[in-house]
Amino acid sequence: MLTDDHEAWGYTSSTGLGFTHHTIVDSHFRACEKPYLHLLEQAGVERGQHVLDAGCGAGDFIPRLAALVGPTGRVTAVDLAEENAALAARRVQEQQPVCPVDVQQGTVLALPHPDDSFDTVWCSNTVQYLDDCELDAALAEMMRVTRPGGTVAVKDLDAHLITARPGDPYLFTDFFRAAGSAPGYARQLLRSRELYRRMKRAGFTGVRQQTLLIEHHAPLSPAAQEFYKSACAQLAGQALQLGLSAQWQRYLDPGSSAHPLDDPDGYISEGNVLAVGSVPHTGVRQ
């Protein structure tokens, strides 16, 4: 995992990876909860299944996963940041989901589970932190721990679809073009629509992919205000250091009365990609 450039993105957890602290992860989930759960419902999770939440963060998806598998199912969750896994486990105790839930610390590069342990793996906003070789390794691990015929569903952010109004429609595009010119986090945020071919190359069958545009129009909800103003401030700092447009100055202060997202025509969007594939039956798996 490339961590050298993550300090500039802010909100790091103990892993050193940007935007992995539970405060920003929770904020993002609250801002996008409805479309996020819509994508989860397309992942093929069924009642009675044993599901792995690979890269669970502070456990925002766990209650819905538990509801989908029902009392006859099970949910197992794993996260790289020890403090996030501990927080997710505490939340499970408080929420008392309808099925057994086990949370532990671990990495998607070496999942702490035996072969063929799960019916479905759900992996959300996690592979963006992996370089290309690590992404291939993580997909192989998800295949390994999923039973033949089971499902692996990977959801992640697509930075190509991030834009805001009012202002230059290419402001965010120019930032990601500049920041993504070298290997690192920005480039990995632009890779999500490659998930389809990477899952096929990993040996998954029946791979399908969809890209969802998530839009927030003025007046933005309090949750959207909280997340996007904080996120834009982090991007603005980097953009100005790169010598990009002075329009980024308007995003530096989340509390500014002239913030673009407070404008009567305020708008911001992001994209999310969901790629789903099946694990081939024994004898066909790679």
Whether 170 is covered by a domain: the verdict is no
Contacts of 286 (CB under 8 A, 6+ apart): 140, 143, 202, 203
Whether 234 is covered by a domain: the verdict is no
Q: Among 87, 78, 60, which Cα is nearest to 223's?
A: 60
Whether 243 is covered by a domain: the verdict is no
Which residues, in sequence order, are bridge partners of residue 38? none
Q: Are 156 and 272 in contact (CB under 8 A)?
A: yes
Q: Among 93, 29, 94, which Cα is nearest to 55's?
A: 29
Q: Are 14 and 27 in contact (CB under 8 A)?
A: no
Task: Give the C-alpha separation, 154 to 94, whole Å.
Answer: 27
Whether 27 is covered by a domain: the verdict is yes
The pLDDT value recorded for residue 283 is 56
Per DSSP, the residues of 260-285 read GGGSTT-EEEEEEEEEEEEPPPTTT-
Q: Among 39, 231, 213, 23, which Cα is nearest to 123's?
A: 39
Task: Give the C-alpha separation, 124 to 40, whole Å.
Answer: 9
Q: Looking at residue 70, which CATH number applies to its domain?
A: 3.40.50.150
How many folded domains does the chain comprise? 1
Structure tokens that stand for 118 in this block: 């799960």
Residue with tokens 């408080």: 94
Listed as ranges, residues in the chain with pLDDT below 70 are 1-4, 283-286
Whether 100 is covered by a domain: the verdict is yes
| pTM metric for this prediction | 0.96
Whether 88 is covered by a domain: the verdict is yes
The pLDDT value recorded for residue 285 is 54
The pLDDT value recorded for residue 42 is 97
- For residue 66, give its domain range: 7-159+182-216+272-278
The pLDDT value recorded for residue 8 is 87
In terms of C-beta distances under 8 Å and separation of at least 24 residues, what long-range contacts does 252-256 make, across chains too?
Answer: 254/229, 254/230
> In angstroms, how far is the first alpha carbon of the chain from the final one?
24
Structure tokens that stand for 276 in this block: 């789903």
CA atoms within 13 A on the CB side of 203: 21
Which residues, in sequence order, are bridge partners of residue 101? 75
